[in-house]
Amino acid sequence: MKTLGFILQKEFRQILRDKTILAMMFVMPTFQLVILPLAANFEVKSINVAYVDHDHSSYSRQLRNKIASSGYFRMMGTPGSYKEGLGMVEYGKADLIVEIPSGFERNLMREGSQKVNLSVDAINGTKASLGGAYLVAVLADFNNNLDINMKLAGNRATEPPAKISVASSNWYNPRAEYKYFMVPGILVILLTMIGGFITALNIVKEKEIGTIEQINVTPIQKWQFILGKLIPFWIVGMVVFTIGLLVMYIVYGIFPKGSLVVLYLFAAVYLVALLGLGLLISTFADTQLQAMFIAFFFMMIFMLMSGLFTSTDSMPEWARMLSDATPVTHFIKVVRLIVLKGSGFSEIKNELGYLVIFAAILNGLAIWNYRKTT
Amino acid sequence: MENKAITCKDLTKRFGDFKAVDGISFDVEPGEIFGFLGANGAGKTTAMRILCGLSYPTSGQATVAGFDVYRQQEKIKKNIGYMSQKFSLYDNLTVWENIRFYGGVYGVSRPEIKKRSNELIATLGLEKEAGKLVGGLPLGWKQKLAFSVAIFHRPKIVFLDEPTGGVDPVTRRQFWDMIYEAAASGITVFVTTHYMDEAEYCNRISVMVDGRVEALDTPANLKNRYHANTMDDVFYQLARGAKRKSD
């Protein structure tokens, strides 16, 4: 135990002395939590619309105003022809063309139906499908509120059209804001970076400078060396996690609805698992460059497979299996459940089981693969 | 066997088909300064790594401080000091923190570390630098400090892998004074070097060629045997026949 004390003393000195790493550890969480949730946003707003109006009637003007005032669309102009509108799409000035044929108002009045042409730039699939859907909804609403339809309904007062009106409410995130989904996720990614990669780089750096050789020739035992590396970064991770929670509260006003104790318990176990991954990477990599590449490989998988940006439920079966096999997935889920939903320990204890298994496997492999003598 | 500092018998290390160390045998007496010479690529470092418990031999026997290199590496590590050609103090720790760390992991108690490091810093004349980062020290000072740290826990044997590489002749001379002092206090010194004047300072030297020990004797006897005036000449005659290309 005395030896471990000396090792910890040395590690803390070195961590506190490395100003770059230290700054990164504290600036990164703040910066990422403040900036990323605002930018990484899947809500589709400000879709640029080219409105081709061949009718120039009061109805077509009403429709144009309605689209413009819906909050989702930005009127980029009223080109004279469809071709001109397409030109705007080609130059990236418009995402969507609405073409109102001539005789729009007349046909609606007389024949009770009229086709409208929508063309959507589908390069950004999300924007295209959501934009199209929003516009269809705006059109449907416009249609319902047309004087002519109102009058028709009024005339047949004896049998009012049956209408189902849906009143939906969003639970756990009442305004369905994307940031409530993203912020806890980004918090998890931060812990992942610190736990998994700074540790790996730290150990590999000792390999590069050659001090690890000096360590290997001392009576320092394997477990002492490993604990000496894990404990400081575990503490750093918990500190960064706390800073992250504070930023989340101060900037976004999100305070965990569930128990902080449970949240910290999960963070603690999760960090052990990720530190194990870092350690494992360091036993394979001989240079920091190699370690970085391996780390990036895992980071990409973690970011895209963990349900950080997208729901894991909509992944294909095989992808969901892969997703379940990364510890990040489980921790992101747990953090969202505790922070937003206020889930208690009993509802998420299975996830803790997963994390414990990851921690045991990753650390076990790392210890097994770390050799003082080759 | 028991009272020898190091014994080697047919010690071999093979990497695939390549015999880095090819059946070397020698003994080192306690308190001796043993020079371990050889051209680049002759297998010196590999042999030394085996003796320090960093690498497993393929076959043969060896003991260091009476402990077996196959099974008792951790006991060996408690009883030796090691300073490698790759500089091995922490650049981002101060002189004093480096001493405390290495002293501590060898089990020297905190009060004892304090006492000894004060003495050490005074002997090296590093009073002003004790609180500074090692990274900022001149190479010669770093190397003297690294040697002092390697023998800080009073090991039975100290292994020095090209300890004076890249330093000026005056500092080298001072370095060897420190080696003599350590030997006088009973520490066995096992040193590799490329400087033949340093070889002359050793009690006995061995010359490795292509993984084998080609010659082993006192510097004077070797010069006699090869009818040479200097160790340079002896080394040249022995290493000339090497088949392995130096790196």
Q: Which residues of A touch B80 (CB under 8 A)?
A: 217
Number of domains composing chain B: 1
> Which residue is associated with the tokens 């004896």?
A158
- Note whether residue B233 is domain-resident: yes
Residue B1 pLDDT exceeds 50: no
Euclidean distance between CA atoms B171 and B148, whole angstroms:
14
Token pair recorded at residue A27: 């600036």
SS3 A157: coil
Residues A10-28: tens digit of each pLDDT? 999 988 888 887 887 778 7
Euclidean distance between CA atoms A82 and A84, whole angstroms:
5
How many contacts, defined by CB atoms under 8 Å, are there between A and B?
74
Q: Do A3 and B105 touch (CB under 8 A)?
A: yes
Q: Do A17 and B87 touch (CB under 8 A)?
A: no
- What are the respective helix, strand and coil percentages of chain B, to the nearest 5? 40, 25, 35
CB contact, 8 Å: A18 with chain B? yes
Tell me what the pLDDT averaged over chain B comes to.
Answer: 88
Q: Which of A14, A210, A220 sits opposite B93 (nearest CB)?
A: A14
Q: Name the residue among B191, B136, B189, B195 with its Cα closest to residue B169.
A: B195
Closest CA of chain A from B225, distance in Å: 37
Q: Do B54 and A216 touch (CB under 8 A)?
A: yes
Token pair recorded at residue B65: 């401080």
Residue B246 pLDDT exceeds 60: no
Confidence label for B242 from pLDDT (cuts 50, 70 and 90): confident
Residue B80 pLDDT exceeds 80: yes
Q: Which residues of B touch A220 (CB under 8 A)?
A: 105
Residues A64-102: tens digit of each pLDDT? 888 888 878 888 888 888 888 888 888 888 888 888 888
Can you give the pLDDT at residue A147?
65
Q: Which residues of A touch B77 (CB under 8 A)?
A: 217-219
- Helices A260-284, A327-336: crossing angle, 10 deg rounding: 160
Mutate to test the interface with B, among A1, A6, A11, A209 (most CBs of B within 10 A): A6
Residue B190 pLDDT exceeds 90: yes
Cα→Cα distances B56→A181, A227, B11, B61, B72, Å: 53, 25, 10, 11, 11
For residues B112 and B118, the answer to whether their CB atoms sit within 8 Å is no
Comparing alpha-carbon positions, the chain A residue that sits nearest to B70 is: A373
Comparing alpha-carbon positions, the chain A residue that sits nearest to B69 is: A373
Q: Which domains does chain A have, with CATH numbers?
A: 2-40+177-369 (no CATH), 47-155 (3.40.1710.10)
Residue B140 pLDDT exceeds 60: yes
Closest CA of chain A from B49, distance in Å: 9
CB contact, 8 Å: A160 with chain B? no
- Note whether residue B113 is domain-resident: no
**Could you give phi then psi for residue B59, rounded to 5 degrees?**
-155, 175
Cα→Cα distances A244→A27, A176, A189, A252, A254, Å: 10, 22, 11, 11, 11
Residue B6 pLDDT exceeds 70: yes
- Note whether residue B16 is domain-resident: yes
DSSP conformational letter for A146: -
- Note whether residue B130 is domain-resident: no
Residues A173-189: tens digit of each pLDDT? 666 677 777 888 888 88
Q: Which of B52, B78, B93 sits opposite A13 (nearest CB)?
A: B93
Residue span of the structural domain in which B27 resides: 6-88+157-239
- Note whether residue B131 is domain-resident: no
- Note whether residue B148 is domain-resident: no
Residue A223 pLDDT exceeds 90: no
DSSP characters over B3-16:
T-SEEEEEEEEEET
Report the amino acid identity of residue B102. Y
Q: Do A218 and B84 touch (CB under 8 A)?
A: no
Can you give the pLDDT at residue A312?
74
Euclidean distance between CA atoms B210 and A74, whole angstroms:
80
Can you give the pLDDT at residue B159?
93
**Could you give phi then psi for residue A139, rounded to 5 degrees?**
-65, -40
Closest CA of chain B from A304, distance in Å: 37
Which residues on neighbouring strands pair with residue B213, listed in sequence order?
B208
Can you give the pLDDT at residue A43?
66
- Note whether residue B139 is domain-resident: no
Can you give the pLDDT at residue A273?
92
Instruction: Tell me the CATH number at B226.
Output: 3.40.50.300
In A, residues 217-246, which contact B (CB 8 Å cutoff)?
217-221
Mean pLDDT to the nearest integer, B195-213: 88
Closest CA of chain B from A307, distance in Å: 40
- Note whether residue B80 is domain-resident: yes
| B6-15: strand order across its sheet | B18-28, B6-15, B59-64, B67-68
Highest mean pLDDT among A102-106, A122-126, B87-91, B100-104 belongs to: B100-104
Comparing alpha-carbon positions, the chain A residue that sits nearest to B146 is: A214
Q: Which residues of A touch B155 (CB under 8 A)?
A: none
SS3 B23: strand
Mutate to test the interface with A, among B105, B108, B149 (most CBs of A within 10 A): B105
Can you give the pLDDT at residue A155?
54
> Which residue is associated with the tokens 């070195």?
A14
Q: What percent of chain B has pLDDT over 90?
A: 32
Comparing alpha-carbon positions, the chain A residue that sits nearest to B160 is: A214
Euclidean distance between CA atoms A175 and B235, whole angstroms:
84
Which chain B residues touch A if contact means CB-CB below 8 Å? 52-56, 73-74, 77-78, 80, 82, 84, 86-93, 97, 100-102, 104-107
